[in-house]
Chains A and B, each alone.
Chain A
Amino acid sequence: MPSSSLLGYCEYLLAGAAITVELAVSGYLLVLIVGAGWALMRRLNNPVVSAAWRVYASIFMGVPAVLVMFLFYYAGSPTLSSLLALFRWQVRVNVTPFGAGLAALTVVQGAYAAEVISSAIRNVSRGQFEASRALGIRPYQTWWYVIMPQVARLALPGLTNIWVSVLKDTALVALAGLNEIVMRSRTASGATNEPFLFFMLAALFFIVFSAATLRGSAEVERRLNRGLARPDNDRRLLAGERT
């Protein structure tokens, strides 16, 4: 196998990596929106919302993401078309692999993100809400300037985990035919008979990319924790030492 063709396949892989990143980033943003939306709605303590959340979480945490994606991909177009037809809107909706994957990642990981954010909100001490009210701060200002920065700090480790799983779950969309990096590594290894090279490259992409973003998240964590000056406390805990 001439090396120029190997190089060509490496470029091909890189283009697939761009699609993976596009899917992961857009998926993660939607996951955050869905997660925060559910978490805030659950704060209302409305029985209808609670029941809806329980059904949603049970379904999407109990069924594999691939299956959800297949359902969206294969059954999505006819379902959406007939739904829109109900509103006298005759359009042929075409669900792409990217769209189906994005939707599946969003609803599945959104459930996990909602859990993380909800428990972060629960862990902000009640005194913060009470103090804000006592100071006469408006509710939306309380949420935006007092509660949310603390929620962000508490939820960050969990949300970072979710980012990594969103990134890795993009591989599933290859099964719906999206030509992203995993699919391309399969094609390239089949065409060149170099399975180790291309699967290794794909694996390294995921490892290096998530390591790079983890570094970014550590930076964000430091910034969010700046009000709590106990940096070496955590380090000692990590080293397995009791403080």
Chain B
Amino acid sequence: MNFDPVLAWHSLPALCHGLLVTIGLAALVPVLGLVISVPMALARLSRWKALAWPAAAYVIFFRGTPAMILLFFVYFGLGQIFGAHDGLLGALFSNAFLCAVIGFALNHSSYVTEIVRGGLQSVPRGIVEAASALGIERRDVFLRVRLPLAVRFGLKAYQNEVILFTKATAVVSVITVIDLTGAANQVFYDTYDPFTPLLTAAAFYWVLVNLLRLGLARLDTWLNPHLVVDERRDSTDEFRPRAVPERHSVTAHGIAEAAE
């Protein structure tokens, strides 16, 4: 069993087509995820039980279920009910790609909801109180003080989730969407050579995941410039005095920016 460069070269068009599907999913779903998860996190933090409990149930259900079952759910379950109908819903659920987007969005958004909630909760209460004491409107306190800080707190976890989710899209071929993994399998069925297409696809994923990781890391250094040194301290066993203050200093920075 050897790697066959000629076959790898010839399977490139098919794999690139699959890669586009993977990238499409990885680009569309996080957008939906953010749209769903911010209101969902607010509902989860709400004082009203009628809002908080359904949001908690949403998170428990969609986070606890493997993405594959959710894909089946949307494609075979909802698809069967609405797929035969005319109109918008019918068009939506008879399209496997859109079903995949919905299924993954349910899964991904429940994770992001918890990240947003954690971020919002780690904003020190004093800052919010100070902002309202300064006479800033409630809406602005949220949009310009709490949310920007929550983004900085939650960014690390969000990066991890986006990367984990991107890798999780590899199961999408169970509902007939041919992504990068699906395309590699197709080449395998045609040529009886599993090694070459799967290894090539793995290389594609590796590059995609690392580009994503580097891009998100840049976003982090841009948002949290003064925490960059902190990172390096984590990666060594050497004990170093904490020249850089802990996460709390973000707050001062955030306030300064929010007040501008």
CB within 8 A of B69: which of A78, A119, A175, A206? A206
Which residue of the partner chain B has the closest CB to A70? Answer: B198
Residue of A nearest to B202 (CB): A63
> B201 contacts which chain A residues (CB < 8 A)?
67
Roughly how many angstroms separate A29 CA and B66 CA in the complex, as a whole number?
A: 21
- Given the complex of chains A and B, what is the CA–CA distance between A62 and B212 in angstroms? 10
Q: Are B69 and A74 touching (Cβ within 8 A)?
A: no
The size of the chain A interface, using a CB distance under 8 A, is: 46
Given contacts A171-B69, A207-B61, A71 and B76 within 8 Å (CB-CB): no
Contact check: which of B66, B72, B173, B206 meets A186 at CB < 8 Å?
A: B72
Binds A, one of B140-148, B163-171, B220-228: B163-171
Q: Known contacts A70-B181, A185-B72; is A62 also within 8 Å of B210 by CB?
A: yes
Given the interface pairs A195-B72, A199-B77, the reply to whether A126 lies near B239 with Cβ below 8 Å is yes
Q: Is B151 close to A, CB under 8 A?
A: no
Known A175-B171, A210-B64; judge A62-B77 contact (CB<8 A).
Answer: no
A67 touches which of B45, B205, B234 (Cβ 8 Å)? B205
Find residues 32-80 in chain A having any chain B CB closer than 8 Å to their own CB.
Answer: 45, 58-59, 61-68, 70-71, 74-75, 78-79
Sample 20 A-B pairs with CB under 8 A, ordered by A number: A64-B170, A65-B170, A66-B181, A67-B170, A71-B202, A74-B194, A74-B195, A74-B198, A75-B1, A75-B194, A78-B1, A79-B1, A119-B234, A168-B64, A168-B66, A172-B68, A186-B76, A200-B73, A206-B64, A206-B65
The chain B residues found within 8 Å of chain A, CB to CB, are 1, 45, 60-61, 64-70, 72-73, 76-77, 80, 121-122, 124-126, 167-171, 173-174, 181, 184-185, 188, 194-195, 198-199, 201-202, 205-206, 209-210, 234, 237, 239
Query: Which A positions have Cβ atoms within 8 angstroms of B?
Result: 45, 58-59, 61-68, 70-71, 74-75, 78-79, 82, 119, 122, 126, 164, 168-169, 171-172, 174-175, 182, 185-186, 189-190, 195-196, 199-200, 202-203, 206-207, 210-211, 240-242
